[in-house]
Structure 1
Amino acid sequence: MKKSKLTAGMAALVLTASLIPAQAAEADYSDQPVLPSQPEITVPAGWASRNGQPGRVAAAVWDDGDNFLVPDTPESGPIPPNSYLSECFVLDQNGYLSYTAGPSFRGVDVSSHQKDIDWSRVARSGMDFAMIRAGYRGYTAGSINKDAYFDQNIQGALANGLQVGVYFYSQAITPEEAREEAHQLLAWISGYPITYPVVFDWEKPAADDARTRFIDGETTTACARAFCEVVQEAGYIPMTYGSPNKVYNGGLLLGQLRDYPAFWLANYTRNSAPTTFRYHFDMWQYSSSGYVDGIPGNVDLNICLTDWSALQ
């Protein structure tokens, strides 16, 4: 597989198994950031607002024109903004989103939580792609485990013509552990034609005994970089995953991931209204309660806004 070339302008999940929460904790129903109230300060040198104009900001986050500010330094470059047209997101009678002003593909993300899936019916329902959990690291002992339904799911999806990507539920606490996860994931997907991204999905479980309980955003981002570096070197498209609250509150520092800009947004807006997330994203997980024929119970629904085939 040829290495993919991504630009800085480019930019799951129901997760279950032993020691893994039944629902992904990342996605949130609020499409507005949760930020502390802080005094205004003057924009420092080297910073620029979303529209390139200086202003006054709350703790160098927002200016009074509702622009997001990002540091422009060698360590953290500018983050491309969300440039999608809200009025071009269309919801059909089945609750599936499409986008009329550019590439638009419908998909699901699945794991062992869904158990046995009839992929022929999923394909006939109009789904274009599937993001499949390959494995996870436990949040207490930290052992790496393969998803019990991974091979069954990826073989079924591919046999019925769906494009396929994969994700790994990470609980890495060091970049070395993230590289270990990436290498194990690459071994699991070897031989399968992966045409969608390979995703680093790091989430902090709501558990007092979680080994990741005190991990900060700098460490999480360092782990993401380590994982993505291994994936990209192997010729796949690396991607990270997160919610608005995670990004806005420093849990994942997108400015430090500009070498790996592909991003999967988890944001369950009310009635699947267009997200107001301020940064570029390539995929959007917009519902955790969707219905797709062939999949038992509820399933996460996604829209992909990047044509990955053009980047292979």
Structure 2
Amino acid sequence: MVLLRFRTWTARLGVLALAAGAVVAASASGTSAAPLPEGSADHYAGSQIGKHEGGTRTARPAKRFAEVPGMDVSSHQGDVDWRRSWDDGARFAYVKATEGTGYRNPKFAQQYNGSYDVGMIRGAYHFALPDRSGGTEQADFFVDHGGGWSADGRTLPGAMDMEYNPYGETCYGLSQEAMTRWVLDFSDRVLQRTQRHPTIYTSANWWNRCVGGSVHFGRTNPLWVAHYADALGALPVGWDFHTIWQWRAAGLFPGDQNLFNGNAEQLLSVALG
């Protein structure tokens, strides 16, 4: 019996030794766990805000001022019937172009060009991953793959989507100071390359927690705010007014439902810069 137990224990030690050797060999060869993916059809403007903040709506908010209805889409919507959306009343659209520095929307051409072809004013947006690479790098990737701008009266300034981390810690492990620097780097680079400050998409809760108000971005960057409730509510710190309100995650148009804070002429003036 003692001999049997000794042999069993020896066999177990052998297995552990082999496992340890495999770990050492893997370390020596530089093998490590595969990195998290960078980009997904499930990441789009508001996808994480809806998960963290919730909120639903059953009807269009009461019209208080001149407002223009619009929409935003990503590859999550696939090929969009733009003629139908136009006939239903949508007059502008934002289309996801990129995420981080490793993802491009495979439906971007159909969505970006299709919205333009039916007469909409449209723009592109970038889903930011501030813990993966710098703001300047992600801005370059965005502009190189759909985030440009032209003064044709039909193109909105590119937008940066700043919201909850879909892969982990809410603020991407960055302090407010570091996150503010990241946003400035992205904004400055887009301005340098397109002559327009990018629109900033966010929610008040995320922005106030992760970025804060050390820089008054409302002086330079249009605000596209997400808030799924009966009223718009408080804006993120740093803005005195909003340009676009994403008021519902689904509805009449494919993708998210938006309202431009002004009339058609004012929407055109935003496109023209």
- Letter matched to residue 231 of structure 1: V
Q: 1:280 to 1:254 in 2, by over 3 A?
A: farther
The structure number with the bigger radius of gyration is: 2
Deviations 1:109-160 (A, max 9, x none): 10000011111111100001001001112xxxxx421111111101110000
Shift of 1:310: 2.3
Q: Does 1:166 align with 2:124?
A: yes
Contact kept, 8 Å, 2:75 with 2:107, in 1: the verdict is: yes
1:95 matches 2:52:
no
2:97 corresponds to: 134
1:235 aligns with 2:258: no
Q: Are the aligned partners of 1:108 and 1:129 in contact in 2 as well (CA < 8 Å)? A: yes
Q: Provide structure 2 residue ranges, at least 5 long, that are not aligned to the other structure.
A: 1-37
Partner of 2:156: 196
CA deviations 1:207-244 (Å, max 9, x no partner) are 44x79631232222211111111222322341112112
Aligned pairs for 1:144-163 within 5 A = 144-163=102-121
Distance across 2 between alignment mates of 1:202 and 1:100? 27
CA contact (8 A) 1:243 1:265 kept: yes
Report if the CA contact (8 A) 2:42-2:76 is conserved: no
Q: Which has the higher contact order (CA 8 A, sep 6+)?
A: 1
Gaps of 5+ in 1: 1-15, 32-90, 138-142
Choose the corresponding residue for 2:224, options 250, 264, 289.
264
Does the C-alpha gap of structure 1 residues 235 and 214 become closer, same or farther in structure 2, counting only changes over 3 Å?
A: same
Q: What pairs up with 1:1-312 in 2 under 5 angstroms?
A: 17-18=39-40, 21=43, 24-27=47-50, 28-29=53-54, 95-97=59-61, 99-101=63-65, 103-137=66-100, 143-173=101-131, 177-189=134-146, 190=148, 195-208=155-168, 213-233=172-192, 234-253=194-213, 255-269=215-229, 273-278=230-235, 279-292=240-253, 295=254, 299-306=255-262, 307-311=266-270, 312=272
Quick check: 1:96–1:106 contact (8 Å CA) kept in 2?
no
Instruction: Give the superposition deviation at 1:24.
Output: 1.6
Alpha-carbon distance in structure 1 between the residues aligned to 2:212 and 2:73? 23
Task: Name the aligned partner's letter for residue 96 of structure 2.
Answer: R
CA distance in 2, matches of 1:196, 1:291: 22
Please give the TM-score of this superposition, normalised by the length of structure 2: 0.69
**AA matched with 1:172:** P
The aligned amino acid for 1:121 is: R
Whole-Å Cα distance in 1 between the matches of residues 214 and 94 of structure 2? Answer: 22
- 1:116 and 1:17 map into 2 onto residues whose CA distance is 19
Identity rate, percent: 20
Aligned residues: 220
Q: Larger strand proportion, structure 1 or 2?
A: 1
What's the TM-score, normalizing by structure 1? 0.61
AA partner of residue 259 (structure 2) = I
Query: SS at 1:26's partner residue?
Result: helix
CA shift in 2, pair 1:261/1:285, >3 Å: same
CA contact (8 A) 1:21 1:205 kept: no
Is residue 88–residue 252 contact of structure 2 (8 Å, CA) maintained in 1? Answer: no
Q: 1:220 to 1:20 in 2, by over 3 A?
A: farther
Given that 1:240 and 1:263 are in contact with CA atoms closer than 8 Å, whether structure 2 keeps it comes out as yes
- State the match for 1:76 in structure 2: none
Compare the two structures and name the one with the higher helix fraction. Answer: 2
Deviation of 1:198 (Å): 1.2
SS for the counterpart of 1:135 is: strand
Structure 2: distance between partners of 1:242 and 1:263: 8
RMSD: 3.1
